Amino acid sequence: MIKKRYLLLMAVILLVIYMFLEPYWIETKEITIESDQIPAQFDGKKIVFLSDIHAGPFFSQERIDSLVNQVNALDPDLILLGGDYVDGDSAYTPSTFNSLSNLKAPLGVYAVLGNKDPQYVTLNTIFQSNVTYIGNKGTWITVNGSRIRLGGVGDYNNGAQIQDATTSVVTPQDFVILISHNPDYFPLVDKSKVDLVFSGHTHGGQVTFFGLWAPTTHSDYGNKYRTGVITEDNSTLIVSNGLGTTILPVRFFARPQIIVVTLKKT
């Protein structure tokens, strides 16, 4: 009996230690998106998506610098940022974007805001960086005369969502990407026009039952949009586990993620 209790205690201690180590074990999750709407000039182009850094006491500028170096080493063509750059404290915003300004991608670095970002401070900081704010805006990304449409919307909880800024000028033949910090916006996306949506916010549940289920996802849809690739009505949602943590610096079977999407023309 004593031996069993000792083994149980050791197992619990190891699991607790692991929970504090997992936030540093970043996963590079590779996904291929296939579509006949992807122009030939974009075939093989690489998109990196980052979300939920939550810079603060538990995610230092040194860690952000390391993240930037890791992303640049992937040689992305396009970088998208999904919001929640700081954990609500605007004091960390300038240093965070000082680091994020070193991200390099020939087709640009684009960002929306999350629910934790102090809006006025964050927007001013973005405008002073080489990151392009795309919340409630749309733009054409062009390669050798061919183009895809990229846009973003404001945070589902704290902002407005003007999807038409992205979709009003597209045709059914265009490949359209939308960034929404919160995946709960996905049911409202015009799936006849938008092909691919990037979201974060949920942290993959942060603390899960061995990756199968999470008691908390910060989503009105429970675990439906917790993490991974979800397809509805010919539109695909990619939900990242994010990079930082909230409340406590722990994760359990919800590793922080760098999402790498490769476009493939069919």
Q: pLDDT for 88-116, tens place per residue?
A: 889 999 999 999 999 999 999 999 999 99
- Confidence category of residue 42, pLDDT binned at 50, 70, 90: very high
Q: Per-residue confidence at 159, pLDDT binned at 50, 70, 90?
A: confident
pLDDT reading at 176 higher than 90? yes
Q: In sequence order, what DSSP letters do the residues of the chain get, joined into one string?
A: -HHHHHHHHHHHHHHHHHHHHGGG--EEEEEEEEETTS-GGGTT-EEEEE----BBTTB-HHHHHHHHHHHHHT--SEEEE-S--BSS-GGGHHHHHHHHTT---TT-EEE---TTS-HHHHHHHHHTSSPEE-BTEEEEEEETTEEEEEEE---TTTS---THHHHTT--TTS-EEEE-SSGGGGGGS-TTT--EEEE-SSGGGSB-STTS--S--S-TTTTTTSSEEEEETTEEEEE---SS-SSSS--BS---EEEEEEEEE-
The pLDDT of residue 8: 79
For 117-153, how does the pLDDT look when each residue is reduced to its tens digit (9 = 90+)?
999 899 999 999 999 999 999 999 999 999 999 999 9
The model carries a pTM of: 0.96
Average pLDDT of the chain?
Answer: 96
